[in-house]
A = this chain, B = another copy of it.
Amino acid sequence: MANRANLSRRAAQLHSETLVSALMARALGQPNLVSLAVGFVDRQTLPVEATRRALERIWADADLARAALQYGTTPGHRPLCEVLLDRMLSADRRAAAEMNVSVDDLVLMPGSNQLLFLLGDILLDPGDIVICAAPTYYVYLGALRNLGARAIGIESDAQGMIPEAIEGQLARLRAAGELDRVKAIYLTSYFDNPRAVTIPADRRARLVEIAKRWSQAHPLYLIEDAAYRELRYGGEDLPSLRSFDAEGDTVIYAGTFSKSYSPGIRVGWAVLPAALRGPVLAEKGNVDFGSPHFNQVLMAEVVRSGLFDRHVRELRDQYGAKTDAILAAAEEYLRPLGVDWVRPGGGLYLWVTLPEGLDAGLDGPLFDRAVSEGVLYVPGQYCYPPEGRPAARNTLRLSFGVASPERLRQGVAALGRAVRQAG
């Protein structure tokens, strides 16, 4: 960015064009395009009736309504923190004492995205390193790049990041004298973005153990992004990585209602190690003095009244049906072309691997053909950190949250036609 505007050094590193806006610009004017690019939730599933009922309950209590309209505190509405902690402990089948956690360790955010931003500010100097899965959540890669931080990608299999690969990378960084620049390992622990894989329990324990063992001169934090935890379309919930951190000094847990309830209300939360609470709150005090109190009071009512759990059950049915639809379409239109994918047990994404050598990138032979045929996707290469495991250019991400089953089918069929032309 040019500096005629007299900007700071920090601003000079900022990239204002997002990947999604670049993709959309390429697809401009394409009629009837099925966008499987953006990881939004389905507008039709948004909880209009549940929210109306929760608002009615709040408005029935003039004192509560008035409190909701007043400033809150920087950590956020305590009754919501309490109910979130209870739910985490109950899902993890742990007592607070076993996890060295209390309601004071929770901080409410406008979406878990703010937590990632605040952690960037308080943990990362330019040149500092975050270990990520390869592929990983690409928006976070952009945030790290904006801070001048390094993201190193780790080989991942059907169970998430491979522990031996993490240790190998840490050993190489130690040998290079760079271990003290490694501040955190970032991962999405449930139905991750972009691959929808979930880390099984034994590997969770192992990852926490690795982070603790490599926390020698200074802590190596483990950022557990649990954004998709509730979006499970089969099987059982698994205990969080946080549940394996008995001291509570290693795992930073990030939760959000943006995927499981409403991104327009935007309430997320962090469960923080004690050493990070002060700095996170101090920086959050700078950013916003606390997120909107009204939204926090609303979500407390939504959860307490059982409206949230009911909504999540409905969501699971709806997204489960979409998962079935996109998988059936992939079987029909993509399997015959030698295309493969990770079968999602939850979340919003289908991670697709094309035949070897077929580049899904913006400048490859597939992207514009796919747009012409009527489908927009995210090229997989953008989900790979710039260092570490090299990007697989024959990959792409399809989001099945927004489109209807019928549109999903159309989109996958269009992708099949494009692959056939490009192959």
Residues of A within 8 A of B (CB): 1, 4-11, 14-16, 18, 40-41, 43-44, 46-48, 51-52, 55, 59, 62, 65-72, 110-111, 113-114, 117, 120-125, 128, 139, 142-143, 146, 183, 218-219, 221, 258, 262-266, 273, 275-276, 278-279, 281-283, 285-289, 291-295, 297
Extra pairs beyond A7-B122, A146-B286 (18, CB < 8 Å): A1-B279, A8-B122, A11-B123, A16-B278, A16-B282, A46-B70, A51-B69, A52-B59, A68-B264, A69-B264, A71-B258, A111-B289, A113-B287, A113-B289, A114-B288, A117-B286, A264-B293, A266-B291
**A71 touches which of B11, B67, B264, B287 (Cβ 8 Å):** B264
* A-B pairs with beta carbons under 8 Å apart, 22 shown: A5-B276, A5-B279, A7-B123, A8-B122, A11-B121, A14-B122, A16-B285, A47-B69, A48-B59, A48-B69, A51-B65, A52-B65, A67-B264, A70-B264, A71-B264, A114-B287, A264-B293, A264-B294, A266-B288, A266-B291, A287-B287, A295-B295
**Bound-complex Cα distance A69 to B54 (A):** 14
Q: Do B293 and A122 touch across chains, with their CB atoms under 8 A apart? A: no
Residue of B nearest to A124 (CB): B8
**Smallest beta-carbon distance A62→chain B, Å:** 6
Q: How far is B384's CA from A118's CA once the two chains are assembled, in angstroms?
A: 28
Write out the residue numbers on chain B whose beta carbons fall within 8 Å of the beta carbon of A46.
Answer: 66, 69-70
| Pick from B55, B146, B282, B297: contact of A146, CB under 8 Å | B282
A79 to chain B, nearest CB (A): 14
Give the residues in chain B near A41, CB-CB below 8 Å. Answer: 70
CB proximity of A382 to chain B, nearest CB, Å: 15
The 3 closest A-B pairs by CB, nearest first: A5-B275, A11-B122, A16-B282
Tell me the nearest residue of chain B to A128, going by C-beta. Answer: B8
How many copies of the chain does the oligomer comprise?
2
Within the complex, the shortest CB–CB distance from A300 to chain B, in Å, comes to 13
Q: How far is the CB of A239 from chain B (nearest CB, A)?
A: 25
CB distance from A68 to the nearest CB of B (A): 5
Bound form: Cα–Cα A48–B156 in Å: 51
- Minimum CB–CB distance from A115 to chain B (whole Å) comes to 10
Given contacts A48-B66, A264-B294, contact A123 B289 (CB under 8 A): no
Chain B residues, CB < 8 A from A183:
6
In the assembled complex, the Cα of A41 lies from the Cα of B278 at a distance in Å of: 27
Contact, CB under 8 Å: A121 / B8: yes
How far does the Cβ of A9 sit from chain B's closest Cβ, in whole Å? Answer: 5
List B contacts of A288 (CB < 8 A): 110-111, 113-114, 117, 266
B contact residues around A7 at 8 Å (CB)? 122-123, 279
With both beta carbons as reference points, the residue of chain B lying nearest to A114 in the complex is identified as: B288
Whole-angstrom distance between the alpha carbons of A67 and B48 in the complex? 10
Q: How far is the CA of A273 from the CA of B120 in the complex (A)?
A: 28
What is the minimal beta-carbon distance from A274 to any residue of chain B, in angstroms?
9
Measured CB to CB, the closest approach of chain B to A225, in angstroms, equals 15
Which residues does chain B contribute within 8 Å of A218, judged by CB atoms? 4, 6
Residue contact A110 to B219, C-beta cutoff 8 Å: no
B residues within 8 A CB of A121?
8, 10-11
The docked-state distance in angstroms from the alpha carbon of A7 to that of B119 is 9
A117-B292 CB under 8 A given contacts A71-B264, A279-B14: no
B-chain residues with CB within 8 Å of residue A55 when the two chains form the complex: 55, 59
A104 to chain B minimum Cβ distance, whole angstroms, is: 14
Residues of B with C-beta under 8 A to A285 = 16, 18
A294-B48 Cα distance, complex, nearest whole Å: 11
